[in-house]
Amino acid sequence: MLFCPICDSIFPPGFAERCPDDGSLLHKLGDDTGAPVYAPGTVLAGKYELLDELERRGGAGRTFRARQTNLDRVVELRVLPNDTLTRPVDHARFQREVATWARLRSDHVVRLYDSGFTESNAPYLALEAVPGGSLGQRLRDQGPLPFDMVEAAAEQVLQALQAAHEAAVLHRDVTPDAIVLGRRADGTIQCRLTGFGLAKHLGEGDDDPTAITMTGHAVGNPAYMAPETILQGVLDPRTDLYALGVTLYELAAGRRPFPGTTLSEMLHAHVQGRPDPLERHRPDAPLGLRRFIERLLARDADERYQSAEQALNALRSSLAAWPDPPAMAIPVGRPADLQPRRASKKYVVFVVAGLGAVGLGALLGLLLR
């Protein structure tokens, strides 16, 4: 069977290369015939004993809680399908992305401990285990998050992005599922940014946006993609900040700021639409948080914060100027600046790939209208 990492739709083997709804690359499920069986107690790469399987963090592959036997520590082990890396260029990309993640140092970035290949040649990543699960899973289970948790996520993810951008690394896949929740020793919230498998070191000139990265899917999620990326293939720190704006809105409102269920609808909304006011879904949303998210979602990149550091300072100032209002009994439904770099024109090909001639024509008509 095949699944779409964006909409989670399931399709029969050989159905297509990309999802007909959102254009994402389809991937084999881990229980396909001939795929390795990963049961509790299985030891991979001679040192990782599987304990149990965790929620999927996005992309292909499977995520496990495992014990690293040679160091007697618990890790999060992500195992990709055996056929993820089939060409020399894929292996080179995998090694570069591992090195990119490993170089980052921040209390708010999930640490990468180890990487390699299992006995069946499946790529794996051994990550720091954060027990709280992702904010995306919490959102799906419990609905919109309390505002203090949204604000904590904003501040701490910005600290992670600041560290990444100062190292000239773009994340390119900030979503609720890329933020994992933990607690410090004093019980306060600690959010950590993971998912640097799509990260890009600025200055590399051989980027292929349609390639499979070490997380197992093509670069970027259209639901969190900045307008300048969609139209021009621009990638810079402000595109990460835009994705964070979509993420924070979703965590607070329980839905994304732009309507659309198909790829063409989503792209048109990002390029031409305006986000629904957050207060429409959360009337008690603090003014400072609303204004902060609105600026992150500015259609013109020049009107956004220009760096994670600037956004972090603005967030702290806005929350101090407009503190959270008293709790109200309102029911909530579930539901350092870097120079911009223009990516390869193939990025736009990724965005519209899989639509077909009719879909592509309709999409271009919407975007140019």
Rg of the chain over all Cα atoms, to the nearest angstrom: 20
Helices (H), the chain: 88-102, 135-142, 147-166, 227-232, 237-253, 263-272, 278-281, 287-296, 308-321, 346-352, 356-368
293 in helix, strand or coil?
A: helix
- φ/ψ of 106, rounded to 5, equals -165, 145
**Distance in angstroms (rounded) separating the CA atoms of residues 308 and 238:** 8
**Distance in angstroms (rounded) separating the CA atoms of residues 260 and 149:** 27
**Distance in angstroms (rounded) separating the CA atoms of residues 352 and 15:** 19
Q: Would you put residue 70 in left (φ > 0), alpha (ψ -120 to 50) or beta? A: alpha
Which sequence positions are flagged as catalytic? 173
Q: Which residue bears the tokens 């101090």?
A: 320
Selection from 119, 120, 110, 129 nearest residue 66 by Cα: 129
CB neighbours of 156 closer than 8 A, spacing ≥ 6?
108, 189, 190, 191, 192, 193
Strand partners, 193: 109, 179
Residue pair 75/129 in contact (Cβ under 8 Å)? The answer is yes
